[in-house]
Amino acid sequence: MRSPSPARRERPSIREPLQVVVRIRPLVGSAAESGAWRLEQRDGQHWVCHQPQGEKLERGVFPFDQCFDGKATNKELFDKAAKKLVQAAVAGSNASILAYGQTSSGKTHSVLGTPYEPGILPLAVEEIFGFRDDGLQVLGKQAKLSYFEIFNEKVIDLLAHGPSQATSSLPVKEDAGRGFYVQGLREAPVRSAEDVLRLVARGEERRRYARTRWNDYSSRSHAIFSLCFEGASSAWEATRRTKLNIVDLAGCENHKHEASEDGRHINRSLFFLGEVISRLCKDGRRDGLSQRSLSDTRRRQDSAPNSGISTPRHSARLRDARTPPRREKNADFIPYRDSKLTRVLRSSLGGDALTLLLVTVHPSPSFAEQSLTSLRFATKARSVDNFIPSGLDSARSNEDRSFSVCDAARIIEGLQ
């Protein structure tokens, strides 16, 4: 086995801000109700505009990297926002896709999808393995799958063998080389899309059983799908271990109840996800983002729909700016260690992964207040920078597929 060359360890980093996209699910049910949100595209920015309908809520406009309305399909969402991260993960970068939003806003629909409309996870699997079953081996890589959940701050392995292991909580440890990792988590070798989706179906079967035992289970559990790639992309490269995480987070409305009467957090992990983002965002503004020019800010505010309404500050997204990694400096001040989720997602939040935050929004005016909270969180997340080692391989092409999205749909049907 080749050892990493010193040259690689010293590679400079490229600043990559968190990509934040918003998806507003279709309004169903009441024909009398119209949505509380309007999407606009102007001057290369995508805006989510709140139109209050009688509620005593402020108007507001929020700019994001991309926005999708009720007409958008999972495939469109995947192609426009998620695919490049999946390709980058295969090519040798860490990548994470996190679905955040209140319960019933469409997180699971976006991540898993339905038999008729596969979500980001089956589409990603198709992207990775679909081009031919031995595609990864040809690239000199092997893949291993983990699928686990965090529920009540317990890490439960959804792929564990045997019933006792399936319910015991696993510790999250830290190690100088690996960073945070879940000790004892099963990593199942997978060679095809079918292998992956069958294991996911098995994990979902466990979650379905848990749903019958616990109130609010679905809205309180974080499901983490983690595909690890190992190998060297070329003969002259060292072996590399990278990960693609796809995470269906718990419903963010739990935030409100974070400090319950006995002082415990109902969803500690979600609370500290917010804390980590807030701290990283302040840090980003102080160190980097505040350096953007005032005129740039003014120009963007002027071009905002309903100009005059204040817009969030985060316009300077200096892609490709080569900067030394800042994370080591920050690590001690950011509360990663305070929850299981933030430990597991350490590299995705101010770390070395490409990260996409998908914020799902319920269109109904009755949920507008919670939706505004989600969008404010999303706005903060846009100010977080990650630092990706430069010089990664470009993503491979994916012609000549043998595994189709219909095959994925067939397997996903087993999950419903």
Is the alpha carbon torsion for 127, 133, 137, 139 positive or negative?
negative
Note whether 207 binds ligand ADP by CB under 6 A.
Answer: no
Instruction: Give the residues lining the site for Mg ion (CB under 5 A).
Output: 107-108
Q: Is 302 exposed, middle or buried (0-12, 13-18, 19+ CB in 10 A)?
A: exposed
Near ligand ADP by CB under 6 A: residue from 15, 50, 83, 109: 109
Site mask for ligand ADP (CB under 6 A), range 235-274, x = bound: ----------------x-----------------------
User: Are β-strands 60-64 and 45-50 bridged in parallel, bridged antiparallel, or unpaired?
Assistant: antiparallel
d(CA 282, CA 291): 13
Beta-carbon contacts of residue 37 (< 8 Å; ≥ 6 apart): 24, 48, 49, 50, 51, 361, 363, 371
Q: Which is nearer to Mg ion, 108 or 364 (CB)?
A: 108
Considering only residues 360 to 389 of the shown chain, the ones binding ligand ADP according to CB under 6 A are: 360
**Number of chain residues interacting with ligand ADP (CB under 6 A):** 12
Note whether 103 binds ligand ADP by CB under 6 A.
Answer: yes
d(CA 145, CA 229): 9
Near ligand ADP by CB under 6 A: residue from 15, 107, 141, 207: 107
Note whether 106 binds ligand ADP by CB under 6 A.
Answer: yes
Q: Which is nearer to ligand ADP, 104 or 165 (CB)?
A: 104
> Smallest distance, Å, CB 26 to ligand ADP?
5
> Smallest distance, Å, CB 153 to ligand ADP?
20
Among Mg ion, ligand ADP, none, residue 360 binds (CB under 5-8 Å by kind): ligand ADP
d(CA 266, CA 378): 21
Residues linked to residue 356 through DSSP beta bridges, in sequence order: 19, 97
Q: Which is nearer to ligand ADP, 242 or 254 (CB)?
A: 254
Q: Which is nearer to ligand ADP, 106 or 130 (CB)?
A: 106
Note whether 301 binds ligand ADP by CB under 6 A.
Answer: no
Considering only residues 42 to 61 of the shown chain, the ones binding ligand ADP according to CB under 6 A are: none
d(CA 329, CA 268): 25
Note whether 25 binds ligand ADP by CB under 6 A.
Answer: yes
The two structure tokens encoding residue 29: 């049910």
Q: Is 98 exposed, middle or buried (0-12, 13-18, 19+ CB in 10 A)?
A: buried
Beta-carbon contacts of residue 341 (< 8 Å; ≥ 6 apart): 150, 222, 249, 269, 270, 272, 273
Residues that bind ligand ADP (CB under 6 A): 25-26, 101, 103-109, 251, 360
